[in-house]
Amino acid sequence: MTQPTATGPHPLARLGVIVVAAGRGERLGASVPKAFTSIGGRSLLEHALCTVASLPGGGQLVLVVPQDRAAEVLELVAASPAEAHGWHVAVVAGGRERHESVRFGIEALVPSIDTVLVHDAARPLTSGALFARVAAEVHRTGEAVVPGSPVADTLKRVTADGIVQETVSRADLVAVQTPQGFPRELLEAAHAGLGARGSAHALPTDDAEVVQLAGGHVRVVPGELRAHKLTTAADAALLEALWQASVGRADSTGAARDGEDR
Ligand code: C5P
C-alpha cells in the first residue's frame, strides 16, 4: 500500500516482523478497530511499534492494517522510535481473514529477510524478550517456533448448548501465543500451499497451523502471561492491570518502559 520513508531497509536486514492489525475486533465491541483501542493510554499499534523498536539489530517491520486507516498508521510510525532504531516500516492493507492479512504481510517482505516473526497486534504487552526468544530458537533449529504455556484449568468438551461430554486431558496441551517465528521460505511456501488447498477446510487460526498443514515441524518455547490476547472487555481490564503492574515495577526499579524488559 504505502511506504513511509524514501530509504530502504539496511541491505543486510534479516529479521522481518509482520504485525497483523487489520481485524475488526467485533467481540470487543469498541467503536474503532481493535488495534486502535488503548491499553495504558497507548493504542495496540503503538505498543507493537515500541516493542519491535526495542529489539536489537533492526530489520523490517510490516504493519498490516485496515485499508482506511493507513494514513493514521503512518503518523504513528513517524512518531515512534522504530525507524531511528534501524527498523524499516512498511504499511499494507489487510485481508478479510487473518491468514490473508499474513499473506499480504509476507508479500511486502524485502528479499534480504530470512527469518519472520508473525505477531498479533491484539497482544499489546508481549515483551521484547519473548520476540528475542522465539527468533533465537528459529535460528538455532531452522524450524517453526511458537510460544506456549501449560493449561492450568480443567478442560471439558461440551455440546453447543453447554452440556459436558467429557474431560480432556491437559497433560500434553499448551495454550499458544504470538509472536510465532519461521524461516521465511517455510512460511512463504506454507501460505502459498494454503491458497492451493481451497476453502474446503476450516480456516487456520494461527501460522503454526498453516505450517503444520504443509507438513512442517513446530516447536514450543515458554510463553508469558503478559502476551495475553485482547478479545473481550474482560481482557482489556486484565491487560490494564498487567500494564499498571509493569509501570509500577519500572518506577520502583528505574527501568525504562520501552527498553528490553518490555
Ligand atoms: O480476531 P482475532 O483477535 O483472533 O485476530 C488476531 C489478530 O489478527 C489481530 O491482531 C487482528 O487485528 C488480526 N487480523 C487481521 N486481519 C483479519 C483478521 C484478524 O490482521 N482479517
Q: Any idea which of 24-38, 76-90, 117-131, 160-174 has the lowest mean pLDDT?
A: 24-38
Average pLDDT over residues 131-153: 97
Domain assignment present for residue 257? The answer is: no
Domain assignment present for residue 24? The answer is: yes
Domain assignment present for residue 95? The answer is: yes
Average pLDDT over residues 101-109: 98
Residue 251 C-alpha to ligand 1 middle, in angstroms?
33
Domain assignment present for residue 259? The answer is: no
Domain assignment present for residue 258? The answer is: no
Q: What is the rounded distance in angstroms from the CA atom of residue 204 to the CA atom of residue 147? A: 17
Q: Is 4 touching ligand 1 by the criterion CB < 6 Å?
A: no
Range(s) of the domain holding residue 214 = 12-151+173-249
| Predicted pLDDT of residue 10 | 53
Helix, strand, coil share of the chain (percent; to 5): 40, 25, 40
CB burial of 182-197 (b: ≥16 within 10 Å; e: otherwise) equals bbbebbbbbbeebeee
| Predicted pLDDT of residue 262 | 55
DSSP structure string for 191-245:
HHHHHHHTTSSPPPSSHHHHHHHTT--EEEEE--GGG----SHHHHHHHHHHHHH
22: closest CA among 65, 67, 74, 69? 65
User: What number does the ligand 1 atom closest to the CA of 121 have?
Assistant: 10
Q: Is 94 touching ligand 1 by the criterion CB < 6 Å?
A: yes
Q: Is 57 touching ligand 1 by the criterion CB < 6 Å?
A: no
End-to-end CA distance of the chain: 30
Q: Which of 19, 43, 91, 98 to mutate to test the pocket of ligand 1 (most atoms within 8 A of CB)?
A: 98
Q: Is 46 touching ligand 1 by the criterion CB < 6 Å?
A: no
**Biggest alpha carbon–alpha carbon distance for the chain:** 59
Q: Is 95 touching ligand 1 by the criterion CB < 6 Å?
A: yes
| Predicted pLDDT of residue 130 | 98
Q: Any idea which of 8-22, 33-47, 58-72, 168-182 has the lowest mean pLDDT?
A: 8-22
**Contact status, residue 54 vs residue 127, Cβ threshold 8 Å:** no
Q: Is 13 touching ligand 1 by the criterion CB < 6 Å?
A: no
Q: What is the rounded distance in angstroms from the CA atom of residue 19 to the CA atom of residue 61? A: 7
Domain assignment present for residue 163? The answer is: no
Average pLDDT over residues 46-71: 97
| Predicted pLDDT of residue 156 | 97
Count structural domains, the chain: 1
CATH number, domain of 199, equals 3.90.550.10
